[in-house]
A and B are shown apart, each in its own frame.
Chain A
Amino acid sequence: MPPSICLRNFSRLSIDAAAHSSSASRLLHPRAAFFSTSSTRYATVAAKRKGSVLPPKKGVKSLNTKKSKKAAADAGKRPAQGERKAQRKRIVLSNNNALEVSSLKDLGKENVLSEQNEGKVMGIPGDTVDALRDVEAFKTTQGWSLFRRPAVLMRKEAVQLARLFKEVEDSAAGQQKRTIRRILSGDRKSGKSTLLLQGLTMGFLREWFVINLPEAQDIVSAHTEYAPLPDSQPTQYTQDEYTANLLQQIQKANGAFLLETKLSTTPNLPIPLPETATLKELVALGQANPEASWPVFVALWNELSQPGRPPILLAVDGLSHAMRNSEYLSADVKPVHAHDLTLIRHFIDHLSGAKKLPNGGLVLGSTSQSNSPKAAALDYSIEVAEARQKSPDDIPQWNPYKSVDARVMESLKDLHTDNKNFDVIKVGGLTKEEARAIMEYYAESGLLRHTVNDGFVTEKWSLAGMGNIGELERTSVRLRI
């Protein structure tokens, strides 16, 4: 704060004193006494403070401990219905204040599966971003809003995933089309959901048919309608509203393929559909009539299973929610197992290998560490699979005192055997080279104001728990902003 004498002189220079703000005018008033401050000080003490409370009158109750009957003053306009949720779920994918990274190359159909990408940060092209947004692949917890536009680091796990895509595509020419299933597991903030998003990006760019269940919790948490599926033994449950919404996502994300493909089978639907309809019309039917959405989904799946259709990418996030009882209740007030919900069952059948993708494809499930209920059988199976990769002699044993969810164990039994098609991708920490690549990207975006040299990278890499990418972003970008 400057000494008040300076301010006073400064204010005298001003032509119009009234133009000053209230704080300046306070300094203006004691103009008469600038040799000594004592008189003004006494004056302010003597002056009665404005707004001071008078002592209470006699006979009037001054202590009022009862809550006033009047409601508290209206605290402004309340948000409209759904506004707060929209705010909470808002996905921001660009930041105009971040710098454009000139060296950033885009992923494309040709280079997305290339192994040369390893350790590079690559941009996601605009229409793929739109498709990813349609299938709700972006999460609010991820840092997309920090950067100019979405870009991903092609870490070694991503290249591993790309290799799987290539294997499936290579097998498409032959008779035996491959269905590869993978579970993504790893520490908290290690980038599992982002890796899943990278998988979806590859699927979109390679023009696969992509079906993504954005969050398994939404399916099992009993927040949408459900109804028993007729003639199912044991009873399965359809979720009409959710399925209709899923069809909408499918239609938005895979619109081009659906539009140009005509029906080749006669689906068994409760609502008539012309013989020559395109698949888009089929899907639109399911969207418009939620009660027919499950039959439409089944019909769509039959269509996709016809020869000559593209490979399919099935993905789900938050797998452990799908590996336990759901919040729904059956008619005799028993909890419904998540595997009895048709959508989850459809996914699990393909994950477990009970059903094959006729045109080949990839089934990806991602676990979560921040929002995952206990699913002991899943955790154990993942542990076993990881141990098989690392040290095949030292396989953990099931704790016999834990109650086992037999259905989950049965669906994951391939993880316990030497099955090449079903395995776990362990999403670990970044290597230092990868960390350096992403930190250079941070620096070029203007979010990291530091020279990226070996010492700095090593420091941040260690602080981030040996290259945990979420922590790396936190320590190098978020904590500085």
Chain B
Amino acid sequence: MVFLNGSNFTEATLVKRSLETFFGIGPKVSQGIMAKFHIHPWAKVGSLKNATVMDLTAELSNMKIENDLRREVQDNIRRLKDMGTYRGRRHAMGLPVRGQRTRTQITTARRLNKVERGGQGQTRL
């Protein structure tokens, strides 16, 4: 098991995949991080040197990911709501925010548009 920014990964996990488990890291960002530390795209977590793991952890701890990012998103939505804007209200009601029709097909909005957007996050060790 390799310990990366508060999370454990089995040695056979791809570095790319393990980075992308963090909220706020997608394909583009993970590619950037891996290029920065010269990790090839198919590298497994187990093959990383200790120094690289430390570097990665340091890099991740300086980034706005996971709960910090969730909080920022939620704060933005809460600000809209507190100002009493239409967008804030739509968020609070779980309805489309940007003028889409609501007659059908609003499941995505129902799922995502809430004040506590992004959820609580999974508990990490």
Contact = CB atoms under 8 A, between A and B. Distances in A.
Interface of A: 222-228, 237, 327-333
A223 B40 contact: yes
B31 A329 contact: yes
Contacts of A331: 35-36, 38
22 contacts: A222-B40, A222-B41, A223-B40, A223-B42, A224-B40, A225-B40, A225-B43, A225-B47, A226-B38, A226-B40, A227-B38, A237-B38, A328-B40, A329-B31, A329-B34, A329-B35, A331-B35, A331-B36, A332-B35, A333-B32, A333-B35, A333-B36
Given A329-B31, A333-B31, A333-B32, A222 B42 contact: yes
Chain B binding surface, main DSSP class: helix
Contacts of A224: 40
Interface in B33-77: 34-36, 38, 40-43, 47
B56 to A, nearest CB: 14
A232 to B, nearest CB: 13
Nearest to A331: B36
Given A331-B35, A333-B36, 4 more contacts: A225-B40, A329-B31, A329-B35, A331-B38
Interface of B: 31-32, 34-36, 38, 40-43, 47
A327 B32 CA distance: 14
Contacts of A223: 40, 42
A329 B34 CA distance: 9
Contacts of A227: 38
A333 B36 CA distance: 7
Which of B36, B40, B43, B47: most chain A CB closer than 10 A?
B40
Contacts of B43: 225
Contacts, number: 28
Contacts of B35: 329-333
Nearest to B34: A329
Contacts of B40: 222-226, 328
Interface centre among B31, B38, B42, B47 (most CB of A within 10 A): B38
A406 B66 CA distance: 44
Nearest to A81: B12
Q: Which of B34, B41, B47 has the most CB of A within 10 A?
A: B41
A230 to B, nearest CB: 12
A223 B43 CA distance: 8
Most A CB within 10 A of own CB, among B31, B34, B43, B47: B43
Nearest to B41: A222
A347 to B, nearest CB: 20
A389 to B, nearest CB: 41
A226 B41 CA distance: 11
Contacts of B38: 226-228, 237, 331
A334 to B, nearest CB: 8
Contacts of A237: 38
A222 B35 CA distance: 11
Contacts of B41: 222, 327
A328 B35 CA distance: 8
Nearest to B36: A331
Contacts of A225: 40, 43, 47
A237 B35 CA distance: 12
Kindly list the 3 A-B residue pairs having the minimum CB-CB distance in the complex, ordered from nearest.
Answer: A329-B35, A333-B35, A222-B40
A134 B31 CA distance: 35
A329 B42 CA distance: 13
A228 B35 CA distance: 11
A328 B36 CA distance: 11
B34 to A, nearest CB: 8
Nearest to A329: B35
A223 B34 CA distance: 14
Contacts of A228: 38
B96 to A, nearest CB: 32
A240 B34 CA distance: 17
B49 to A, nearest CB: 9
B55 to A, nearest CB: 12
The listed residue with most A CB atoms (<10 A of its CB), out of B34, B35, B43, is: B35
A429 B43 CA distance: 43
A174 to B, nearest CB: 46
Contacts of A330: 35
Nearest to A333: B35
Contacts of A226: 38, 40
B3 to A, nearest CB: 21
A223 B42 CA distance: 6
Nearest to A291: B49
A328 to B, nearest CB: 7
A329 B40 CA distance: 8
Contacts of B47: 225
A227 B34 CA distance: 12
A442 to B, nearest CB: 42
Contacts of A332: 35
A224 B44 CA distance: 11
A223 B40 CA distance: 7
A333 B29 CA distance: 10
A92 to B, nearest CB: 28
A329 B36 CA distance: 9
A101 B51 CA distance: 59
A201 to B, nearest CB: 34
